[in-house]
Amino acid sequence: MKFGAHMSTSGGLHRAFALGERAGCDTIQIFSKNQQQWRGKPLGDAEIAQFKAEQERSGLGPLIVHDSYLINLASPKDDLWEKSIAAFGDELERCAALGIPYLVTHPGAHTGAGEAAGLQREIAALNRLLDAGVGGDTIILLETTAGQGTCLGHRFEHLAELIAGAHHPERVAVCADTCHLLAAGYDIRTPAACAATFAEFDRVIGLDRLKAFHLNDSQKDLGSRVDRHAHIGEGCVGLEGFRAIVNDPRFEGLPMLLETPKGDDLAEGIANPAKLRGLIAPPA
pLDDT score of 173: 98
Closest Cα partner for 210 from 107, 141, 139, 123? 141
CATH number at residue 96: 3.20.20.150
CA 251 – CA 234 distance, rounded (Å): 23
**Which residues partner with 258 through β-bridges?**
5
Closest Cα partner for 153 from 56, 225, 86, 100? 225
175 sits in which H/E element: strand 172-177
Return the sign of the alpha-carbon dihedral for residues 74, 78, 84, 88: positive
Q: Which amino acid is at 243?
A: R
Whether the Cβ atoms of residue 111 and residue 191 lie closer than 8 Å to each other: no
Give the pairing type, strands 217-218 and 229-230: antiparallel
- Residue 225: inside a domain, yes or no? yes
pLDDT score of 1: 87
Tens digit of pLDDT at every position of the chain (284 positions): 899 999 999 999 999 999 999 999 999 999 999 988 898 899 999 999 999 999 999 999 999 999 999 999 999 999 999 999 999 999 999 999 999 999 999 999 999 999 999 999 999 999 999 999 999 999 999 999 999 999 999 999 999 999 999 999 999 999 999 999 999 999 999 999 999 999 999 999 999 999 999 999 999 999 999 999 999 999 999 999 999 999 999 999 999 999 987 777 777 778 888 899 999 998 86
pLDDT score of 268: 77
Count the Cβ atoms, other than its own, within 10 Å of residue 128. 16
Total domains in the chain come to 1
256 sits in which H/E element: strand 255-258
Count the Cβ atoms, other than its own, within 10 Å of residue 280. 12
Residue 270: Cβ-neighbour burial (10 angstroms; 0-12, 13-18, 19+): middle
pLDDT score of 267: 78
CA 216 – CA 256 distance, rounded (Å): 10
Which residues are part of a known binding site for Zn(2+)? 66, 106, 143, 177, 180, 214, 227, 229, 259
CA 123 – CA 106 distance, rounded (Å): 13
- Residue 283: inside a domain, yes or no? no
Count the Cβ atoms, other than its own, within 10 Å of residue 57. 12
Whether the Cβ atoms of residue 188 and residue 145 lie closer than 8 Å to each other: no
Structural domain boundaries, residue 105: 2-278
Which residues are part of a known binding site? 66, 106, 143, 177, 180, 214, 227, 229, 259
Give the burial string for 205-236 (b: 16+ CB within 10 Å, else e). Answer: beeebbbbbbbbbbbbebebbebbbbbbbebb
- Residue 201: inside a domain, yes or no? yes
- Residue 268: inside a domain, yes or no? yes
**Which residues partner with 143 through β-bridges?**
175
Task: Please give the DSSP secondary-structure letter assigned to residue 44.
Answer: P
pLDDT score of 72: 98
- Residue 113: inside a domain, yes or no? yes
- Residue 231: inside a domain, yes or no? yes
- Residue 284: inside a domain, yes or no? no
Secondary structure string (H, E, C) spanning 46-69: HHHHHHHHHHHHHCCCCCEEECCC
CA 225 – CA 66 distance, rounded (Å): 21
